[in-house]
Amino acid sequence: MAQAQLDQKKVEEFLGKAIQDVAATFHAGLVLIGDKLGLYRALADGGPQTPAELAKRTGTRERYVREWLSSQAAGGYVTYDPATGRFTLPAEQAFLLLDADLPGAFLLGVGSVRDEPRITDAFRTGAGVGWHEHDTGVFEGCERFFRPGYAMNLVSQWIPALEGVKAKLEAGGRVADVGCGHGSSTIIMAQAFPRSTVTGFDYHRGSIEWARQTADKAGVGDRTTFDVASAKDYPGTGYDLVTFFDCLHDMGDPVGAARHVRQSLAPNGVWMLVEPFANDRLEDNLNPVGRLYYSASTLLCTPASLSQEVGLALGAQAGEKRLRDVLTEAGFSRIRRVAQTPANMVLEARI
């Protein structure tokens, strides 16, 4: 297309947006560096610092730290005072980077992008790429990406929103946490309900081993069990609560998994399904959260589902209607949305 036909303003606008995206791609690596070397922590603890002061405090080299700080300042992660040559991590950034563990989300992104050549190939062949086949950053990043939301909402909002479940767990109930990954949700529930037993299941052996160690460190090894099992064949029946956190859409056969949940529940048992937040229509998901999830879904969730039997590939933005169809097909008749956050939607399903 001849340049004269282009709307120059729109070209510039899109270029500006693309430059931000390219910068953000590089920036992801810098966030991992800041996280691993404790640069954000040292800035939060030590207040305004020059590159030399921050380097001294963290045992790193001033020249590298200066470049890193300059980039952080250009990106709005820190502020720069030309009068003193010092850089500051504002309280709000410190909260999100340190308390809310935002670098975990970057780790998930970087780990996913590392596997891009395999996904590119899969576009051509149609083959799946299993969750277990990914870079280890994906497993740790996934845990760190979702855990703050679970820590904030699971015990205080989501479980109380389920009919009758909190009282049962307080008295001592049985919980199966399916597709538990590194077990952050399993451990949070075990900590909150010491009279209950919580079993985490995941088909990925590496994640289960990690979860066991984390539960021991958290002091809940005695009331948690972690076993390698798929969502369609995990053992046990009579569960008061079965939970799936951000994993149903990763499965090849969500309807088969839902049928297995159904037969594993106690009479009056509840299935709590936590999925990424999404509206039903694509056009209503064209926003930053939708972009994040569709991108992760292209690199992780869709290939994961396609690697398993049936290969339904719901995608990470399935939306409530599509999820209800899956649950209804499996024989759940009472389904209601009990909570939502910008990241998650929570459904309660009963037979």
Ligand X SMILES: C[S@@+](CC[C@H](N)C(=O)[O-])C[C@H]1O[C@@H](n2cnc3c(N)ncnc32)[C@H](O)[C@@H]1O
Nearest to 202 by CA among 218, 217, 224: 224
Considering the rule CB under 6 A, would residue 348 count as an interface residue with ligand X? no
> 116 vs 128, 206, 289, 313, CA distance in Å?
13, 22, 21, 18
Q: Are 179 and 248 in contact (CB under 8 A)?
A: yes
Considering the rule CB under 6 A, would residue 339 count as an interface residue with ligand X? no
Alpha-carbon distance of 181 to 173, in angstroms, equals 22
Considering the rule CB under 6 A, would residue 293 count as an interface residue with ligand X? no
Cα dihedral value 226, 227, 230, 231, nearest 10? -40
Considering the rule CB under 6 A, would residue 53 count as an interface residue with ligand X? no
**Between 162 and 191, how does the x/- string for binding to ligand X read (CB under 6 A)?**
-----------------xxx--xx------
**Between 190 and 209, how does the x/- string for binding to ligand X read (CB under 6 A)?**
------------xxx--x--
Cβ nearer to ligand X, comparing 53 with 250:
250
Least CB distance from residue 309 to ligand X, whole Å?
Answer: 9
Nearest to 317 by CA among 339, 287, 272, 338: 287
**Between 62 and 101, how does the x/- string for binding to ligand X read (CB under 6 A)?**
----------------------------------------
Binds ligand X by CB under 6 A, chosen from 49, 230, 297, 317:
230
Considering the rule CB under 6 A, would residue 138 count as an interface residue with ligand X? no
Considering the rule CB under 6 A, would residue 248 count as an interface residue with ligand X? no
Considering the rule CB under 6 A, would residue 326 count as an interface residue with ligand X? no
Nearest to 230 by CA among 209, 211, 262, 205: 205
Considering the rule CB under 6 A, would residue 143 count as an interface residue with ligand X? yes
Considering the rule CB under 6 A, would residue 308 count as an interface residue with ligand X? yes
Least CB distance from residue 197 to ligand X, whole Å?
Answer: 18
- In whole angstroms, what separates CA 320 from the centre of its chain? 18
Cβ nearer to ligand X, comparing 44 with 241:
241
Nearest to 315 by CA among 257, 275, 273, 267: 275
Considering the rule CB under 6 A, would residue 245 count as an interface residue with ligand X? yes
Cβ nearer to ligand X, comparing 39 with 142:
142
DSSP per-residue string spanning 136-186: HHHHHHHHHHHHHHHHHHIIIIIHHHSTTHHHHHHH--EEEEET-TT-HHH
> 11 vs 33, 205, 351, CA distance in Å?
33, 49, 54
Considering the rule CB under 6 A, would residue 247 count as an interface residue with ligand X? yes
| Binding region for ligand X (CB under 6 A) | 131, 142-143, 146, 179-181, 184-185, 202-204, 207, 230-231, 245-247, 250-251, 304, 308
